């Protein structure tokens, strides 16, 4: 049984990726797992200059998940290129770089710079709910989704995956806008906007008051959105949102995902993505699935 997949002409040894922001650039996880086993490492959002992120506290545990308000802290594209790409290139896995910006120009600058280096795909982050400019401010307006996608496409040498926000009334509208802008694929979902209150301090738990909610509690929402988007557009989808096991990943594939990304599960179990790879293989072996295309989008 072989679990190879292809997205925008790039072949992955299996569909399992790390969701941006939950895996750094893989360094911290190297001692727990063999990064060669992953289909791809999707790195934390990278901007044209270093960003220091939001004030703490910026994470909180909730029932079945967590909230984060990191604010896209990152070292900037030059430090990323110098330190992280040589580290990741030691491994036989694809590299997907999540790109962030405050303006369309900044996104374009990052894409242009990354066009000069050895990475496999770009993931356009227009869905981070924790920044005032860029992020979800672009990702909730179909006009802007199309415009940013179209502009960044002009500068990106690698295929461009657009990461969608669930914080909209109709995600298929955003998916269609990204497709019209020339996206080569979609990833969904980013986090749902949420909140937690410390009743003893009578204050929100997060310094920014609200943050992005992720983890197994959001899986049914994510699955429903992948299903709807798959019916609405003709683009490969990387599905994510609460994937903890191989069975969860198979659900996303049946809903229409080509790739699957594991995120919050890493904070509970650093080997989670590897276990998802093994779980998918076990399902395929047990049920005689020779190629994931046989079950993709069958719902
Ligand atoms: C963050 O850094 O605040 C989260 C990133 C994201 O939601 O895209």
Distance CA 165, CA 186 (A): 11
For the Cβ of 259 lying below 6 angstroms from any atom of ligand 1, the answer is no
For the Cβ of 190 lying below 6 angstroms from any atom of ligand 1, the answer is yes
CATH 3.40.50.620 fits 5-53+71-193+213-294, yes or no: no
* Domain-wise residue ranges, the chain: 5-53+71-193+213-294
Q: Residues 158, 120: contact at Cβ < 8 Å?
A: yes
Q: Whose CA is nearest to atom 6 of ligand 1?
A: 128
Model confidence over 68-95: pLDDT tens digits? 999 999 999 999 999 999 999 999 999 9
Model-level pTM greater than 0.95?
Answer: yes
Residue 170, C-beta contacts closer than 8 angstroms, at least 6 positions apart: none
Average the pLDDT over 147-173 and give the result. Answer: 98
Confidence of residue 275 (pLDDT cuts 50, 70, 90): very high
Q: Which atom of ligand 1 is nearest to the CA of 130?
A: 3
Q: Which atom of ligand 1 is nearest to the CA of 70?
A: 3
The reported pLDDT for the residue numbered 133 is 87
| N-terminal to C-terminal alpha carbon distance within the chain | 22
Q: Which residues pair with 261 in a beta bridge?
A: 17, 240
The reported pLDDT for the residue numbered 297 is 98
Q: Whose CA is nearest to atom 2 of ligand 1?
A: 72
- What percentage of the chain carries pLDDT values higher than 70? 100
For the Cβ of 191 lying below 6 angstroms from any atom of ligand 1, the answer is yes
For the Cβ of 130 lying below 6 angstroms from any atom of ligand 1, the answer is yes
Q: Which atom of ligand 1 is nearest to the CA of 73?
A: 2
Q: Residue 1 above 80 pLDDT?
A: no
């Amino acid at each position: 049984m072989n679990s190879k997949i292809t997205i925008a002409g790039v072949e992955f040894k299996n569909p399992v990726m790390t969701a941006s922001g939950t895996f750094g650039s893989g360094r911290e996880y190297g001692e727990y797992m063999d990064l060669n086993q992953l289909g791809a490492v999707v790195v934390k959002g990278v901007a044209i200059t270093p960003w220091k992120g939001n004030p703490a506290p910026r994470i909180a545990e909730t029932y079945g998940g967590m909230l984060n308000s990191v604010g896209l802290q990152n070292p900037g594209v030059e430090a990323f290129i110098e330190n992280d790409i040589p580290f990741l290139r030691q491994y036989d896995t694809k590299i997907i770089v999540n790109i962030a910006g405050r303006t369309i120009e900044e996104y374009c600058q990052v894409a242009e710079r990354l066009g000069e280096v050895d990475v496999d795909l770009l993931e356009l982050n227009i869905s981070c709910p924790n920044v005032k400019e860029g992020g979800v401010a672009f990702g909730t307006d179909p006009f802007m989704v199309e415009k940013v996608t179209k502009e960044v496409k002009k500068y990106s040498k690698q295929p461009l995956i657009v990461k969608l926000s669930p914080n909209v009334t109709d995600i298929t509208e955003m998916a269609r806008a990204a497709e019209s802008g020339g996206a080569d694929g979609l990833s969904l979902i980013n986090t749902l906007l949420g909140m937690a209150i410390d009743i003893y301090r009578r204050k929100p738990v997060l310094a920014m008051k609200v943050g992005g909610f992720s983890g197994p509690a959001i899986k049914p929402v994510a699955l429903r959105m992948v299903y709807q988007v798959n019916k609405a557009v003709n683009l490969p989808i990387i599905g994510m949102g609460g994937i903890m096991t191989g069975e969860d990943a198979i659900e996303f594939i049946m809903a229409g995902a080509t790739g699957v990304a594991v995120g919050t599960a890493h904070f509970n179990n650093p080997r989670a993505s590897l276990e998802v790879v093994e779980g998918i293989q076990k399902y395929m072996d047990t049920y005689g699935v020779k190629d994931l295309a046989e079950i993709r989008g069958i719902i």
